[in-house]
Structures are given as structure tokens and as C-alpha cells.
Amino acid sequence: MRFPLADGTRLALSGSVRRIAIPQRPGAYPSPRFREEAPGRFAVQGLRKPADAGAMDAWQTGLPSLRPAMGRAVRRARHLGVARHCSVCSARVRAFARFGDPEREDARCPVCHSLERHRLAWLFLERCTPLFDGRRRELLHFAPEPVFAERLRRIPGVQHLGVDLADPRADLRLDITRLPFADGERDVIFCSHVLEHVPDDRKALRELARVLEPSSGWMILQVPLRDAPTDEDPTVTDPAERTRRFGQSDHVRVYGWDFTARLRAAGFDVAEIHARRWLGARDAARYGLADEALFYCTRTPDDA
């Protein structure tokens, strides 16, 4: 059985999923073998350092870059199945793992660790947007998730900018309510599970509308949702009470379907994308999407 690496080579499984060999390529550093000593722990066998100084540099530089791909290949083999399909990493697995507090069934991909919202968003990006047509686009990505950011950066033409208020892994540290961009400067905005943390989310939405390109720009928004009106109360600061009412100690609200009206009031035309209505119950289950939803937004024309 063989599994692809990011550079186009393939990992070969020899015998069982507990032993992996990387095929030798002409001029490459010596091929190691990996043996699983305990769940999640692997020992390297047969790894010989090259005698040539130039080959040594390639060996030292190349081996660390293979580790993420090797880990994904091991997980892909261990969880191989047909019942579930991850749209983000294309893995076919027996089941998605439980995740969250409280735990959700069928939530996390065991290979790339994507969650329901990531899988729905990636499906929508691939099937319903022009993001992959090769044209240059300025993409503004709030709270960039590692599972998404690395893939977005590889799309031809996409100029990815990851921003966050506190995360040091982001390209820039920015407050979503005070963006330093010119009007209409961003072609695409991706903002997933951010606004429930922002005290003045209406101001944040107005800023997003301001910086989005008015004629062809578009935005994908995702927030935690429930089948009730939005519940928010700025006087609630106790972490336990926030968790009880809003679902998490650092959330300041939990949105309902009236979120669409809030988006329109900020200057957006909005399409609600419901996973089950869009894909059908069978495919929604295959991708592990449950009741996931997203909001596809464009700027409301000035003469509307």
C-alpha cells in the first residue's frame, strides 16, 4: 500500500502498518525505516549519515521536513477505511474521532485533525468558489488554523495573510475591530469561529465589510450556532457561567439563526449553506458534517 507525500514521493507500507519504508530516490539521503515501539512512538532503523559533506547538508535539511508527512502517512494507514472521507486531506478512514467538551461523535479527522467546520469550508471552497482558478487574490485569514493555513498558502495565485490578536504563529497581530487595510483592499476573507470571542462583533462586521472588495470580493464566516435566538450578555464574566450559557469560557455569546440579520445589517448579502441541505444526508454523514453550516457573504451594492 502506498501513500503520497507532499513532494510527490510515496510512502510504502511493508507488511503491516507498523513498519514504513521511504523509497530511495537517486541522489537522496539514505532511506530510513520506522518501527512503532508504542502507540504514537516510532524508532528509526537503518539510518546512515552520508559521508559526503554536500549530501550531509541535504540529509540534515531534508529529514525534518519529512516528519509531518510521515506522521500523516502512519495515521492514514492506521485508520484506513471507507465509511468516512475527509475533504481537507482526502483521507478515507473507518471513523472520525470524538472531540470537544462535551464530546461530539464523528468530529475530528484522525489524519489531519480537521473538524466539522474545516471539512465543510474546504468542500465549499473547492466546489463553489473561484479560489482555485489561479488568479491573484489577497486572502485575509483570521485566527489561521494550521490545518487550513498551510493548504491555502499552496493554492496558486493566493496571497495568504494570517492575522490574529494573540497567536504568535499568525503573520500579523491585529484587532478585528480596527483593521489597518484600505477600503476594498481584500479579495477574500475567511473568518471561522472568531466573532463569538469579540465583545463588539457588530463593529468587527462593519470593518470586514469595509475592507472587502465591493464588486467581486467574498467572505466565508462560521460561528457556533444553536436553534434559538442569539444569547449574549456583556455582564457575564464568570468563566463557568460563560461555559454554561455560551458553550466556552472565552465566548461572549452563542449565535442563533438571527445571525444572518446581523450580517445584513453590517452591509452584506448573505447565503446560508447548510451541510445536509446542500450535500444531502448521506454525503453529509460521509464527510462527518452533522448540522454544520457556513455563511457566504458579498458586499451589498451601494445602490441597493
Pairing of strands 80-85, 92-93: antiparallel
| pTM passes above 0.85 | no
End-to-end Cα separation, the chain, in angstroms: 57
Query: Higher pLDDT residue, 30 or 242?
Result: 242
pLDDT tens, position by position, 76-133: 777 788 899 999 999 999 999 999 888 899 999 999 999 999 999 999 999 999 999 9
**Average model confidence (pLDDT) for the chain?**
82
> In whole angstroms, what is the distance from residue 267 CA to residue 262 CA?
9
Percent of the chain at pLDDT exceeding 70: 75
pLDDT tens, position by position, 161-178: 999 999 988 999 999 999
Phi, psi angle pair for 26, to nearest 5°: -55, 125
**Over 90: is that where the pLDDT of 12 sits?**
no
* Domain(s) of CATH 3.40.50.150: residues in the chain: 115-299
Q: Residue 76's Cα: distance from chain center in Å?
A: 18
Give the CA angle between residues 53, 58, 62 to the nearest 5°.
150
For 175, the 3-state DSSP assignment is strand
Closest CA to 34 of 8, 55, 11: 11
| Domain covering 115-299: architecture | 3-Layer(aba) Sandwich (3.40)
Gyration radius of the chain's alpha carbons: 22
